[in-house]
Amino acid sequence: MAATTVTQSLTFPPELFATLSPSPFLLAHLSSSSSTRPNGRTSSTFRKPTVNTNSLSHCNGSAVVRLGNTACVCGIRAEILPSSDVANPSYIPTSLTPESPDTNMADDDADNEDEDIDDGPEMASLNLLVPNIELSTGSSPAHLPGNPPSTLAQSLSQRLLDLLHSTRLIRAKDLRILYQPPLLEDDEEPDAEPTVEVKAYWVLYIDILFISLDGNAFDAAWGSVLAALKNTKLPKAWWDQDLGSILCSDAVAEANELTLRGLPVAATFAVFDTRRGKGMKGKTGSWVLADPDTFEEAQCEESVTVVVDDGGRIRRIEKSGGGVVGKAHLRDLVELSQRRREEWKQVLNI
């Protein structure tokens, strides 16, 4: 009886090895000649994203994004913030001139002109974007409901908000609901420019629910936000002077789409360093793993998130937890991120 137990303990399945000593398990995979990760990918392979858009009927825009075993749903709901309710209206532009409706078309001049206008303070101070990530949907055993949002969920939401603002992805122009007072006939200056005032703003509530979590929550969440924003339709809204309120049209043909500034794509890397892990004395080496899953994330402390946009422009680099990735290494990661952007671009149909 005792002998059988001993023989059993000598050969145990890989799952048991992974559970008992995760770091040496990962090291054994990476330091083998083929250097594949336990999930079968090479260190620079990302998981292929799949995107499904506008399947939720109560959302202005929605998307389901799946990255391997990580899956999340993003739903965007638009509500109205009347300008009269804003406590500090100093950021609301006052000197707007009426525009012809086709200026938001892909006209190069108009586009460039629009790039110059800094509407960041307007968006940020009015809190027009409200992203929130919900992990506690039973998406993984570590995230069960009944508790307030975990630190991971809080930091992910905050990172999303920062990225939305710093990339200036959404134009404030698309969110404004304008009103042009009718010109009175006995106007003293008939040649005066008609003025337009901002009566209200659309506020976008961006809610991301994780159906399943297997690492790299940020890339999946950001991808779903991009896909949902791309498919968001805001109803045509106008100020009704008689009712004193904003009214919307339910016709799809009259709805406006958002015109996004570029397509910044996030790529996350985790760094596995033998000096950090347990039970790896005398072994040296470090590996950068693209698009880590939950098992790898638990073994890696350093992580790098690179956000790149069109033409290799770097929109954001977040790096924390260690100093393995240096200047030269970072250049490689930016290169990889650019390739990753092409992949996303294809999936998002842009």
Partner 1 sequence: MTDRRRINGPSSGTIVPTFISSTSSSQRPNRTRQPDELRKIFLKTGVTPSAPGSAYLELSPSSTSSAPTLVPTSSNLKITCTVHGPRPLPRSVPFSPQLVLSTNVKFAPFATRKRRGYVRDSTERDLGQHLESALRGVIIGERWSKSGVDVVITILEGEESCWWGDEGGLVGADGRAGSANGSCGLMSVLAGCITVASAALVNAGIDCVGLVSGGVAAMVNNSLSSAEKRALGSASESSSVCVLDPSPPEHDGILRACVVAYIEARDEITEIWLKGEAGSPEETEQLTEKAVVAALASGVVLKAAVSGPTDEETFSEDVDMS
Q: Is residue 152 a contact point for partner 1 (CB under 8 A)?
A: no
Q: Is residue 124 a contact point for partner 1 (CB under 8 A)?
A: no
Tokens of 84: 């009269």
Cβ–Cβ < 8 Å for 62, 73: yes
Helix (H) or strand (E) holding 266: strand 265-273
Cβ–Cβ < 8 Å for 51, 187: no
Tokens of 5: 């137990």
Among 92, 96, 152, 248, contact with partner 1 (rule: CB under 8 A): 248
Bridge partner list, 96:
196
Closer to partner 1 by Cβ: residue 76 or 169: 76
Q: What is the DSSP letter of 302?
A: E
Tokens of 299: 């073994």
Among 16, 35, 48, 79, contact with partner 1 (rule: CB under 8 A): 79
Cβ–Cβ < 8 Å for 227, 65: yes
Site size toward partner 1, by CB under 8 A:
63
Q: Is residue 350 a contact point for partner 1 (CB under 8 A)?
A: no
Radius of gyration of the chain (CA): 25
Closer to partner 1 by Cβ: residue 177 or 289: 177
Closer to partner 1 by Cβ: residue 9 or 57: 57
Residue with tokens 């969440």, as numbered in its chain? 221
Q: Is 301 helix (H, G, I), strand (E, B) or coil?
A: coil
Q: Is residue 71 a contact point for partner 1 (CB under 8 A)?
A: yes
CB of 75 to partner 1, least distance (A): 4
The β-bridge relationship of strands 70-82 and 176-179 is unpaired
Residue with tokens 């938001």, as numbered in its chain? 104
Contact code string over 187-206 relative to partner 1, x by CB under 8 A = ----------------x-x-
Contact code string over 127-146 relative to partner 1, x by CB under 8 A = xx-xxx-x--xxxxx--xxx
Residue with tokens 């939950």, as numbered in its chain? 294
Closer to partner 1 by Cβ: residue 149 or 322: 149
Which residues, other chains included, contact 327 with Cβ-Cβ below 8 Å and sequence gap of 6+?
none
Helix (H) or strand (E) holding 283: none
Tokens of 119: 């509407």
Closer to partner 1 by Cβ: residue 246 or 317: 246
Contact code string over 26-55 relative to partner 1, x by CB under 8 A = -----------------------------x
For the segment 262-301, give every residue that binds partner 1 (CB under 8 A): 294
Tokens of 179: 């009103």
CB of 155 to partner 1, least distance (A): 11
Judged by the rule CB under 8 A, the positions of this chain that interact with partner 1 are 55-60, 62, 69, 71, 73, 75-82, 85-87, 126-128, 130-132, 134, 137-141, 144-146, 148-149, 154, 157-158, 161, 203, 205, 207, 209, 211-214, 233, 235, 237, 245-252, 255, 294
